[in-house]
Amino acid sequence: MTKSNTELSRLRWRCRRGTREMDLLFERFLKHAYFLLSSEEQAVFENFLDVPDPVILNWVTGKAEPERAEYRKIIQHMRLGNTALDTGNNKHAG
């Protein structure tokens, strides 16, 4: 599903966090990985954005792990800085 410009603007705004480090982390994920996700995985990421920054930072730094497997997958790719996700839906690989 293609996002409208308004939806993309809202998503970019939600990816703006309180610190430069978090902004970079989310901007990189949005730029390189978000559009390779299935619509279901994109919805998970949009819910993920509701998690408080200190919790996400603990997950990214390995001080804690999210209980939800879907969140662990997002964190794994954020940690690695991957530009492609192994989702089985990657139409751009190859």
- Confidence at residue 82, expressed as pLDDT on a 0 to 100 scale: 53
pLDDT, tens digit only, all 94 positions of the chain: 567 889 888 999 999 998 998 999 999 999 888 988 899 999 999 999 999 999 999 999 999 999 999 999 999 888 887 544 444 444 443 3
Burial (CB < 10 A; 0-12, 13-18, 19+), residue 29, is buried
Considering its fold, how many domains does the chain have in total? 1
List the CATH number of the domain containing 32: 1.10.150.250
In a domain? residue 35: yes
- Confidence at residue 14, expressed as pLDDT on a 0 to 100 scale: 93
- Confidence at residue 70, expressed as pLDDT on a 0 to 100 scale: 95
- Confidence at residue 91, expressed as pLDDT on a 0 to 100 scale: 42
Which residue segment(s) compose the domain that 43 sits in?
Answer: 19-80
- Confidence at residue 55, expressed as pLDDT on a 0 to 100 scale: 96
In a domain? residue 58: yes
- Confidence at residue 45, expressed as pLDDT on a 0 to 100 scale: 95
Sign of CA dihedral 46, 50, 53, 55: negative
In a domain? residue 8: no
In a domain? residue 59: yes
In a domain? residue 63: yes
In a domain? residue 9: no
DSSP label at residue 38: -
In a domain? residue 12: no
